[in-house]
Amino acid sequence: MSFISSKNLTHIKNGSLIILGAFVYAIAINDFLIPHQIGEGGVTGLTAVGYYALQIPPFITNLVLNGLLLLVGFRLLDKRTVWYSLWAVLWISVFLKLPRLLTYHTSQSIIPAIAGGVLMGIAMGIIFQGEGTTAGSTILAKIMNRYFGMMTGTAMLMFDLIVAIPSGLIIGFQNMLLTVAELYVAAAVLNGFLSRFGAKKSVTIITSRTTEVTAELSARLKQGITLVNAKGYYHQESHPMIYLICTKRQLAEVVPLISSIDPEALVVVEEVHSVKGEALNKIL
């Protein structure tokens, strides 16, 4: 008998993912960006600029600015997301106080920019998997998405560049270009992370052996499968189409299974984000 409810297990899982993501996020800043005077976007960029120009500890800037943005978000966004985001901000601030964990030297500035971008993308992906955000430009982007219809990714990039480009006055033109490169790498890694762990595949199957294929797929996948009534225009014949959602790993089983039953079957595979209607804004 379990003494922990499924809801509490979800909170523990999400909270743990956010802590892990916050740790990786802080490593990217402390060990790769700040030591090489590479900026960032949004509030994180302001923490770097504050450190370079005024020697303000990054954890203080991060906590204060993100705290103010979360107060705005609390009135305008989903409360669950805001609470998880607050948890992320607190842990990022804690980890930013840690000394550098990695000690290395390189004369190639592009290396820490790329490494920092990769870690940033992974960190944000982990935090997003825990249903949180890194606050800052993410909060502003979600507000723009909810009230003005702007895609979240586009809004994030816009707010990040608003900080990153002017930071060139403090960190120099070369480091500003490295910052833009780092932002691009982080965005690409984040998209890849979410695609790998969040996206699923939709599979449409047209076969003359619908009953056999459906029975085998149901037995193998143990999940819902939909039959859609369809009619071919040329022969005017009615055939049900098989439609299902599966993971990339399951797809590797599905295609050979279909081919073994009906080598002539037509299989169409597309990438989708599977969400409930109330969560559609999360994929924009």
Cβ neighbors of 44 (< 8 A, separation 6 or more) are 29, 62, 134, 136
Residue pLDDT tens, the chain, 284 long? 455 666 778 888 888 999 999 999 989 988 888 888 787 777 777 777 777 777 888 778 777 877 777 777 777 767 787 888 888 888 988 888 888 777 777 777 788 889 988 998 899 888 888 878 777 777 777 777 677 767 666 777 788 878 777 777 777 888 888 888 888 888 788 777 766 665 678 899 999 899 999 999 988 888 888 899 888 888 788 888 999 888 777 888 888 899 999 999 999 988 775 555 544 444 44
Q: What are the boundaries of each domain within the chain? A: 6-197, 200-283
Q: Which of 257, 173, 272 is nearest to 214 (CA)?
A: 257
* Number of residues in the chain: 284
Specify whether the CB–CB gap between 143 and 133 falls below 8 A. no
What's the CATH number for 200-283? 3.30.70.120
